[in-house]
Amino acid sequence: MAKLTVPEFKEQYKNMILRLYAEDVKDSDAHQQYTALALWLRDYYAPFLKATRQHYENDRVKEAYYFAIEFLPGRMLETNMLNLGVTDVVTTAMMQMGLDMDKVVDAEPDPGLGNGGLGRLGSEFLDSAAALHMPLNGNGIRYQYGLFRQSFVNGYQVEMPDDWLRNGNAWEVRKENRACLVRFGGNTWLAEDAFGRLVPHYENTTDVLAVPYDTGVVGYQNQTVNTFRLWSAELPTDPAVTYTLQQKEEVNEITEILYPDDSNYEGRLLRLKQEYFLVSAGVQSIVRHYRKHHRSLNHMDATVAIHINDTHPAMAIPEMMRILMDEEFMSWDQAWAITTKVMSYTNHTLLSESLETWPQDMVAQTVPRIYQIIQEIDRRFRELQTPVYGADRVNRCAPLGDGTVRMAYLAVIGSHSVNGVAKLHTELLEKDVLKDLYRIYPARFNNKTNGITMRRWLQIANPALTHLLNEKLNGDWCHRPLDIMGVQSFAKDPTFLKELQEVKHKNKVALAKKIRARENISVDPEHAIFDVQIKRLHAYKRQLLHALFIIDEYQQIKAGQPLSVPRVHIFSAKAAPSYYYAKEIIKLINEIANTVNHDPAVGDQLKVVFVPNYGVSEAEDMIPAADVSEQISLAGKEASGTSNMKLMANGAITLATMDGANIEIADAVGEDNIVTFGMTVDEVGAYTNYSSQAIFDSDKHLQKVVNALIDGTIPNITREGRDIYNSLLQYNDEYFVLADYESYVKAQDKISTLYQDPEKWYSMACINIAKSGQFSSDLTIARYGDDIWHLTRDQVGVN
């Protein structure tokens, strides 16, 4: 394909604006400019999308389907330009036409189809798979409203609907010709047909039409474009059937909203319907597609892999059984052999309250045929395993128990692979959360530490650092992530370290400018440490520990002792609307910010910023400017974490507990290049008689900090301050905040000391960047492809 030139692009772009809006470029607004550019890019990659599909089909290439109830793709304009290799031509042309590229980029809505790390991981994987020419397809739900938009009123979180589709979605293509019917409710029974086969009969079901919308996932400069498919619920089109208004409402609401909670699953019927809707539509379309190209279903695992990302899509297992038995007339044993070979599962949590379960009667009423199949999976599992492992163990880990369907157990039993998302997490799954099933199926368990795509988090988010790396590294680190290691040789080069410092400074100035414009807070990019904690608001992530330290610093300043280094504490986090305690923490931090930022005695020494509406775009603004990466969850609670990896790749120093992937980061950079603190998992586990009150009583310094919650030091938190105080003392501090406090303060002091020696600090930053390559999701997805799905791919370029 001939290389695109600036004049060619301008011509085509002007035509696009004319066709779409009957206007000249100069009369268009930013949204029109964005839409026209997105549609131009879609046209540009359409031939690659077609060729990729044809290659997979004609060459009978094995394809994997990644099922997830959440994705968090981020904006796609810059990614697609980068991956298609047209960034320079397009930006030059846009400039020549007098257009402001920043405004065009900002006009794209950031699709909030996920809550946090889980959804983001799925999107990173799709990006990396396309970069490796690996046949991986995404399967999710096209929520009409994404995760709520967050703002603050009087320091309280306020939630507003995220109407991300209001102006249409330029990337997607509706494929009504690929729609499927999904059945809910009613009654089911089995009866013999004319051939003596048992077939299910249904009555009084509610049928829903699942319509797919496909978006291309553009590979990094390799002409691969994979498919990301999102399903939307609609009324079936049968003209003989009429629907009441209420029936219409019931159907439409299935894909109306994303559940704004990534850890506690509200036992809501609608959520169960969303889960079955996704898997039924997805699995039906996979089998239908397979049928078009293959005669026998017996070897489906040779060309199809289905991945269950967390338990929400676990009904893919009984749904596949249903299709193979009821529609393809296979025996149970035949169907089960295929299903377990096709399915694989990733667990994402260690919080016991987050292991998903559903009341059996709810499942029986909502998806009766699926419930029958789960009962049979349960019966056979018990029959087969009880003689070997005993009734106690088998009762503890069978799919049905305590009147519920236990989704994680169903997922393990119906899959050939079960993985955790960091070494420690996988170990804890085997030892604790899933220990009974590990005993029965040890060979299924494996670890796949999470990863991040360097394209978004370095090449797009941090052009200054990318430029510096390109200058220094001969190897093509953009194709070979481990090549970033090469900058390690500059870790003692004062000239390079100065350049690295200048890059960070430039990014801090840019963020300070945005904070000034958006939050009306002045922060000092010259002298202050930018100390960043950005992630969902959850008690186990311990934003409270960080907040208590800020109170501590404030009290120190008020007592006449200036901080050794000025600090800017930057938070960003959404709390689930029903998570009362998390919202109280938000209020607390906002009131600390209010107090500290307006106290003339504090000045520029200490600032606190809570950036509202955390999402991928906000993360892209903050991460390149971070000096310190706060990863301070209670050990044993964070499965992996990925913001830790993004921040490290951008040269932030990690301040961390030994939890999740922090442990692997510590291993990679060595103890001199990370600041760790707090109890280990084993210490937490061995702590049998924890008394937060005893710790409080024995530490005067800590008392003063904690009392600030209730003594008026921080105004406007009468209720919240008291509740948080009580959580720490009366309710014995579930996440050991007070137990780790002293150790955290020491670690923070160490950060301040290190920061005052810029050569030392940027040498540490350099090592962190150098070692970040191993956390590239290109490497992670290659391991999924090799070990779990058995897919073909290009080399990751790692020797």
Binder of ligand PLP out of 76, 314, 491, 619 (CB under 6 A)? 619
Nearest to 660 by CA among 346, 261, 349: 349
Of the pair 77, 330, the CB lying nearest ligand PLP is at 77
- Sign of the CA dihedral running 727, 732, 734, 738: positive
Residues 511-550 that bind ligand PLP (CB under 6 A): 535
CB of 644 to ligand PLP, least distance (A): 6
Count of residues in the chain: 799
Binder of ligand PLP out of 150, 453, 462, 642 (CB under 6 A)? 642
Contact range with ligand PLP by CB under 6 A, out of 347-355, 474-482, 513-521, 615-623: 615-623
Residues 744-763 that bind ligand PLP (CB under 6 A): none
Of the pair 503, 537, the CB lying nearest ligand PLP is at 537
3-state secondary structure at position 702 = helix
Assess 116 for contact with ligand PLP (CB under 6 A).
yes
Binder of ligand PLP out of 318, 615, 636, 773 (CB under 6 A)? 615
* Euclidean distance between CA atoms 373 and 379, whole angstroms: 10
CB of 646 to ligand PLP, least distance (A): 6
590: Cα separation from own chain's centroid: 25
Residues 28-87 that bind ligand PLP (CB under 6 A): 72
Assess 117 for contact with ligand PLP (CB under 6 A).
yes
Active site residue 508: no
* Euclidean distance between CA atoms 205 and 200, whole angstroms: 13
Active site residue 569: no
**Burial label, 594 (beta-carbon count in 10 A; 0-12, 13-18, 19+):** middle
Active site residue 567: no
CB of 77 to ligand PLP, least distance (A): 17
Active site residue 348: yes
* DSSP-assigned beta bridge partners for residue 610: 571
DSSP state of 434: T
Nearest to 781 by CA among 257, 125, 266, 154: 125
Task: Count the Cβ atoms, other than its own, within 10 Å of residue 192.
Answer: 9
The b/e string for 461-473 (b: 16+ C-beta within 10 A; e otherwise) is bbebbbebbeebb
Binder of ligand PLP out of 211, 330, 616, 747 (CB under 6 A)? 616
* Euclidean distance between CA atoms 112 and 144, whole angstroms: 10
Nearest to 319 by CA among 361, 356, 257, 275: 275
Of the pair 120, 322, the CB lying nearest ligand PLP is at 120
Q: Which token pair is 599?
A: 């106290």
Of the pair 405, 534, the CB lying nearest ligand PLP is at 534
Contact range with ligand PLP by CB under 6 A, out of 37-45, 115-123, 766-774, 789-797: 115-123
Instruction: Give the helix, strand, coil percentages of the chain, each rounded to 5.
Output: 55, 15, 30
Instruction: Provide the total of helices (H) and of strands (E) in the chain, helices listed first.
Output: 31, 23
Active site residue 574: no
Q: Which token pair is 449?
A: 């530490």
CA distances from 530 to 106, 623, 624 (A): 24, 10, 11
* Euclidean distance between CA atoms 636 and 14, whole angstroms: 56
Contact range with ligand PLP by CB under 6 A, out of 227-235, 352-360, 463-471, 637-645: 637-645
| Contact pattern for ligand PLP over residues 157 through 196, marking x by CB under 6 A | ----------------------------------------
Of the pair 280, 543, the CB lying nearest ligand PLP is at 543
Assess 643 for contact with ligand PLP (CB under 6 A).
yes
CB of 305 to ligand PLP, least distance (A): 25
* Euclidean distance between CA atoms 348 and 352, whole angstroms: 11
CB of 734 to ligand PLP, least distance (A): 19
Nearest to 434 by CA among 405, 406, 462: 406
CB of 622 to ligand PLP, least distance (A): 10
Assess 612 for contact with ligand PLP (CB under 6 A).
no
Q: Which of 536, 567, 574, 607 is catalytic?
A: 536
Task: Count the Cβ atoms, other than its own, within 10 Å of residue 108.
Answer: 24
CB of 616 to ligand PLP, least distance (A): 5
Nearest to 87 by CA among 32, 170, 95, 25: 95
Q: Which token pair is 650?
A: 């951008």
Assess 721 for contact with ligand PLP (CB under 6 A).
no
Q: Which of 348, 538, 546, 637 is catalytic?
A: 348
Of the pair 586, 616, the CB lying nearest ligand PLP is at 616
CB of 228 to ligand PLP, least distance (A): 17
Binder of ligand PLP out of 641, 678, 773, 785 (CB under 6 A)? 641
Active site residue 541: yes
Nearest to 113 by CA among 231, 217, 219: 231
CB of 613 to ligand PLP, least distance (A): 10
Of the pair 72, 665, the CB lying nearest ligand PLP is at 72
Q: Can you give the binding site for ligand PLP, defined by CB under 6 A?
A: 72, 116-117, 120, 535, 614-616, 619, 641-643, 646
Return the active site residues: 348, 535-536, 541, 642, 646
